[in-house]
Amino acid sequence: QKEVEQNSGPLSVPEGAIASLNCTYSDRGSQSFFWYRQYSGKSPELIMFIYSNGDKEDGRFTAQLNKASQYVSLLIRDSQPSDSATYLCAVSRTSYGKLTFGQGTILTVHP
Amino acid sequence: DVKVTQSSRYLVKRTGEKVFLECVQDMDHENMFWYRQDPGLGLRLIYFSYDVKMKEKGDIPEGYSVSREKKERFSLILESASTNQTSMYLCASGRAGVGTEAFFGQGTRLTVV
């Protein structure tokens, strides 16, 4: 079993819809959870992080964490074509800030 | 703004060459990381460093070594480059502590021929 697994893509949604990206992790000692966005040919950039159970909202983005189910998700409301990118889920359990990444989910938002 | 700078954007090297990839950060971060990114495999950690001269193996250290002589600089060394090391290499840095984000450099696309 991979340490961090993301829902297989690619995911295609129409403009204005909600995009739902999912991630599961195997290590129950994981403490912090991150969502990065990576545009084609660019480096990953942080969208959100979460470390408490429940929801965390930032503009059109909502991260959800359920530690009992070892599940973290990212919802993008009112999806825009500019949201088209690869979304990377990352998990950390150590104080060194070492991140373990999932394989990424490609999201396409079509007009 | 945090800046993580990798020395080269594109590199082409021959099989068997010793290759150095350099990374510099300007935010006095304790932690620095080297990842490689391959299609379908995501980012995989090669090595990380939590202090000057300190290093830890990541998930795929074979064929690589690292050096951190100064806090701001972290080098990745391919001792004898092979074609299966053709990849995108990403350097990152971050503060010590749980929950701190990693800031990435622009990446080095290495091709070994």
Quote the minimal CA–CA distance from B100 to chain A in Å: 6
Mean pLDDT split into 10-residue runs, chain B, 113 residues: 89 97 95 93 92 92 96 97 97 84 94 98
Question: CB-based contact (8 Å) between A50 and chain B?
Answer: no
CB-nearest partner of B98 from A92, A100, A103? A92
- What digits encode the pLDDT tens for the residues A25-34? 998 888 899 9
Q: Which of A43, A49, A51, A91 to mutate against chain B (most B CBs within 10 Å)?
A: A43
DSSP letters along A51-89, please? -SSEEEEETTEEEEEETTTTEEEEEESS--GGG-EEEEE
- What digits encode the pLDDT tens for the residues A49-107? 998 999 999 999 999 999 999 999 999 999 999 999 999 999 987 766 688 999 999 99
Query: What's phi and psi for B94, nearest 5 deg?
Result: -165, 160
Locate the chain A residue with the closest alpha carbon to B38. Answer: A103
């470390």: which residue's tokens? A51
Eight-class DSSP state of A52? S
Please say whether the beta carbons of B71 and A4 come within 8 A.
no
Indicate the pLDDT class of residue A17, thresholds 50, 70 and 90: very high
ω into residue B61 within 30 of 0, thus cis? no
Six token digits for residue B25? 């950060």
Query: What's phi and psi for A82, nearest 5 deg?
Result: -70, -10
